[in-house]
Amino acid sequence: DQQVKQNSPSLSVQEGRISILNCDYTNSMFDYFLWYKKYPAEGPTFLISISSIKDKNEDGRFTVFLNKSAKHLSLHIVPSQPGDSAVYFCAASGGSNYKLTFGKGTLLTVNP
Amino acid sequence: NAGVTQTPKFRVLKTGQSMTLLCAQDMNHEYMYWYRQDPGMGLRLIHYSVGEGTTAKGEVPDGYNVSRLKKQNFLLGLESAAPSQTSVYFCASSEQQPTGELFFGEGSRLTVL
């Protein structure tokens, strides 16, 4: 039973355009959501997070939107750059849970 | 500024052999985790620890054991390796949960023949 779903295994966009990565979750106890970026042969690194009391969080070119009623969040990257090419993982935690549950990841390719 | 360090980075084992992966963090974090990453499966939690001397099972704990004798170290052991344990293993640590950011090591690639 996959509690965090990233239904798009890959996404390709042109440099300068917007990248939108989507994530759905099923566990209503989740109240904190994070995005991680992973380059090949490296560990994942934290990108941006959002609490369930908010519906938007922005950090430079990165914005995360949360729709609690739909149990859906998305990561927007504007403008996209070739250096953004990586695997992006959505993760969630909640309640007294001491751990993050990750999605399967989406490979973003930004073409020059 | 080391952060989270994993050793070894690469290892090839034969079926039935045992080994230990070592994770060390220098950030004085309470929480530590072992994940495995497999193609198409994302990151799956094997075991975790909420403090020195504690361990708990994650999603996929079978075939693995862990120990947290010192706050800065988290060891992952395979007593009898199987080909299904071929994977990339990531250790992570965090200051607080459930909202604490995880800091990951660079990964350890294990192949079991």
Q: pLDDT by residue (tens digit) across B12-22? A: 999 999 999 99
Q: Chain A within 8 Å of B39 (Cβ-Cβ)?
A: no
User: Is it the case that residue B84 has pLDDT exceeding 60?
Assistant: yes
Return the bridge partners of A93, or none. A32
| Euclidean distance between CA atoms B108 and B22, whole angstroms | 10
Residues of chain A with pLDDT under 70: 1, 95-98
Condensed to tens digits (0 to 9), the pLDDT of residues B87-112 reads: 999 999 998 765 668 999 999 999 99
> A44 contacts in B (CB within 8 Å)?
43, 90, 102, 104
Distance (Å) from the alpha carbon of B93 to chain A's nearest alpha carbon: 11
| Measured torsion, CA atoms of residues A20, A25, A28, A33, in degrees rounded to the nearest 10 | -50
Q: Find, in chain B, the residue whose alpha carbon is nearest to that of A42.
A: B106
pLDDT score recorded for residue A100: 86
Give the CB-side neighbour count of residue A99, counting CA atoms within 13 A. Answer: 21
Q: Find, in chain B, the residue whose alpha carbon is nearest to that of A90.
A: B42
| Euclidean distance between CA atoms B104 and A104, whole angstroms | 17
Q: Chain B within 8 Å of A95 (Cβ-Cβ)?
A: yes
Cβ of A107: how many Cβ atoms within 10 Å? Answer: 14
